[in-house]
Protein backbone atom coordinates (compact mmCIF):
# COMPACT_ATOMS: atom_id res chain seq x y z
CA UNK A 1 0.00 0.00 0.00
CA UNK A 2 2.83 2.40 0.85
CA UNK A 3 4.44 1.59 -2.48
CA UNK A 4 1.24 2.55 -4.34
CA UNK A 5 1.00 5.84 -2.43
CA UNK A 6 4.66 6.61 -3.08
CA UNK A 7 4.25 5.83 -6.79
CA UNK A 8 1.18 8.08 -6.95
CA UNK A 9 3.02 10.96 -5.23
CA UNK A 10 6.03 10.70 -7.52
CA UNK A 11 3.85 10.53 -10.63
CA UNK A 12 1.82 13.55 -9.47
CA UNK A 13 5.00 15.54 -8.81
CA UNK A 14 6.37 14.73 -12.26
CA UNK A 15 3.13 15.67 -13.99
CA UNK A 16 2.81 19.02 -12.23
CA UNK A 17 6.45 20.03 -12.67
CA UNK A 18 7.26 18.20 -15.91
CA UNK A 19 6.51 21.04 -18.33
CA UNK A 20 9.34 23.47 -18.85
CA UNK A 21 8.72 27.11 -19.73
CA UNK A 22 9.80 26.32 -23.29
CA UNK A 23 7.12 23.60 -23.46
CA UNK A 24 4.52 26.06 -22.16
CA UNK A 25 5.54 28.64 -24.77
CA UNK A 26 5.42 26.04 -27.57
CA UNK A 27 1.96 24.93 -26.41
CA UNK A 28 0.69 28.51 -26.53
CA UNK A 29 2.31 29.11 -29.92
CA UNK A 30 0.43 26.10 -31.30
CA UNK A 31 -2.87 27.49 -29.96
CA UNK A 32 -2.15 30.91 -31.44
CA UNK A 33 -1.58 29.62 -34.99
CA UNK A 34 -4.53 30.50 -37.20
CA UNK A 35 -6.90 33.32 -38.09
CA UNK A 36 -8.43 35.59 -35.45
CA UNK A 37 -10.96 38.44 -35.62
CA UNK A 38 -11.42 41.27 -33.15
CA UNK A 39 -14.19 40.75 -30.63
CA UNK A 40 -13.65 43.71 -28.31
CA UNK A 41 -11.17 46.51 -27.82
CA UNK A 42 -10.93 48.93 -24.91
CA UNK A 43 -8.40 51.56 -23.95
CA UNK A 44 -7.54 52.10 -20.29
CA UNK A 45 -6.12 55.60 -20.01
CA UNK A 46 -3.62 56.07 -17.19
CA UNK A 47 -5.39 57.48 -14.15
CA UNK A 48 -8.89 57.18 -15.63
CA UNK A 49 -11.66 55.57 -13.60
CA UNK A 50 -13.31 54.02 -16.65
CA UNK A 51 -12.02 52.51 -19.87
CA UNK A 52 -13.01 53.64 -23.35
CA UNK A 53 -14.65 51.17 -25.72
CA UNK A 54 -12.74 51.45 -29.01
CA UNK A 55 -14.09 48.29 -30.67
CA UNK A 56 -15.48 50.30 -33.60
CA UNK A 57 -11.94 51.45 -34.48
CA UNK A 58 -10.95 47.78 -34.92
CA UNK A 59 -14.19 46.47 -36.49
CA UNK A 60 -13.45 43.92 -39.19
CA UNK A 61 -9.78 43.58 -38.25
CA UNK A 62 -8.25 40.15 -38.72
CA UNK A 63 -4.86 38.75 -37.74
CA UNK A 64 -3.28 35.52 -38.98
CA UNK A 65 -0.42 33.84 -37.09
CA UNK A 66 1.66 31.37 -39.10
CA UNK A 67 3.84 28.55 -37.71
CA UNK A 68 6.95 30.00 -39.42
CA UNK A 69 6.84 33.07 -37.15
CA UNK A 70 5.16 35.46 -39.57
CA UNK A 71 1.95 37.36 -38.95
CA UNK A 72 -0.44 39.18 -41.27
CA UNK A 73 -2.86 41.90 -40.17
CA UNK A 74 -5.84 42.92 -42.28
CA UNK A 75 -7.57 46.06 -41.02
CA UNK A 76 -11.29 46.54 -41.49
CA UNK A 77 -10.62 49.51 -43.77
CA UNK A 78 -8.54 47.47 -46.24
CA UNK A 79 -4.98 48.09 -45.05
CA UNK A 80 -2.51 45.18 -44.89
CA UNK A 81 0.55 44.70 -42.65
CA UNK A 82 2.90 41.77 -42.13
CA UNK A 83 5.97 40.89 -40.13
CA UNK A 84 7.51 38.55 -37.54
CA UNK A 85 6.02 37.43 -34.22
CA UNK A 86 7.14 35.40 -31.22
CA UNK A 87 6.00 34.45 -27.74
CA UNK A 88 8.19 34.59 -24.68
CA UNK A 89 7.73 33.83 -21.00
CA UNK A 90 8.86 35.68 -17.92
CA UNK A 91 8.94 34.10 -14.48
CA UNK A 92 8.62 36.41 -11.46
CA UNK A 93 9.89 35.95 -7.91
CA UNK A 94 6.65 34.18 -6.90
CA UNK A 95 7.26 31.60 -9.65
CA UNK A 96 4.33 32.93 -11.69
CA UNK A 97 4.78 32.89 -15.45
CA UNK A 98 3.67 35.76 -17.69
CA UNK A 99 3.54 35.24 -21.45
CA UNK A 100 4.39 38.06 -23.81
CA UNK A 101 3.64 38.50 -27.48
CA UNK A 102 5.93 40.59 -29.65
CA UNK A 103 4.94 41.34 -33.24
CA UNK A 104 6.15 43.91 -35.74
CA UNK A 105 3.78 45.00 -38.50
CA UNK A 106 5.32 46.47 -41.65
CA UNK A 107 3.85 48.20 -44.66
CA UNK A 108 4.53 46.70 -48.11
CA UNK A 109 7.30 49.31 -48.46
CA UNK A 110 9.14 47.78 -45.48
CA UNK A 111 8.40 50.66 -43.10
CA UNK A 112 7.37 49.68 -39.57
CA UNK A 113 3.71 50.71 -39.14
CA UNK A 114 3.14 49.53 -35.56
CA UNK A 115 4.34 47.05 -32.98
CA UNK A 116 2.67 44.90 -30.36
CA UNK A 117 4.75 44.19 -27.30
CA UNK A 118 2.35 43.11 -24.62
CA UNK A 119 1.07 40.35 -22.41
CA UNK A 120 -1.13 37.59 -23.72
CA UNK A 121 -3.75 36.21 -21.35
CA UNK A 122 -6.52 33.63 -21.34
CA UNK A 123 -5.30 31.99 -24.55
CA UNK A 124 -7.64 29.14 -25.42
CA UNK A 125 -8.45 27.37 -28.67
CA UNK A 126 -11.27 29.90 -29.17
CA UNK A 127 -10.02 33.32 -28.01
CA UNK A 128 -7.27 35.29 -26.31
CA UNK A 129 -6.70 38.66 -24.68
CA UNK A 130 -3.76 40.90 -25.52
CA UNK A 131 -2.78 43.87 -23.34
CA UNK A 132 -0.51 46.33 -25.15
CA UNK A 133 0.98 49.18 -23.08
CA UNK A 134 1.00 52.52 -24.88
CA UNK A 135 2.34 55.96 -23.95
CA UNK A 136 -0.77 57.09 -22.09
CA UNK A 137 -2.51 53.82 -21.15
CA UNK A 138 -3.13 50.21 -22.13
CA UNK A 139 -4.92 48.87 -25.20
CA UNK A 140 -6.81 45.68 -24.33
CA UNK A 141 -7.79 43.52 -27.31
CA UNK A 142 -9.92 40.37 -27.23
CA UNK A 143 -9.68 38.13 -30.31
CA UNK A 144 -11.89 35.22 -31.41
CA UNK A 145 -10.60 32.36 -33.56
CA UNK A 146 -12.04 31.94 -37.04
CA UNK A 147 -10.55 28.59 -38.06
- Domains of the chain in sequence order: 20-145 (2.40.128.280)
Buried b (16+ CB within 10 A) or exposed e, 36-68: bbbeebbbbeeeeeeeeeeeeebeebebbbeee
* Tens digits of pLDDT across the chain (147 residues): 666 665 555 555 544 555 676 666 566 677 888 999 999 999 988 767 778 889 999 999 999 999 999 999 999 999 999 999 988 877 666 666 778 889 999 999 999 999 999 988 888 889 989 999 988 889 999 999 997
- Whole-structure pTM over 0.75, yes or no? yes
Amino acid sequence: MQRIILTYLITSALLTTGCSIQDQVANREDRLIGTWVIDRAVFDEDGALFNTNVTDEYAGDEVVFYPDGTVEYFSGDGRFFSGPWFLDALRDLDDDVEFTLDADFFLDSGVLAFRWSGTIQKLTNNNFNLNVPEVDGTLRLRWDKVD
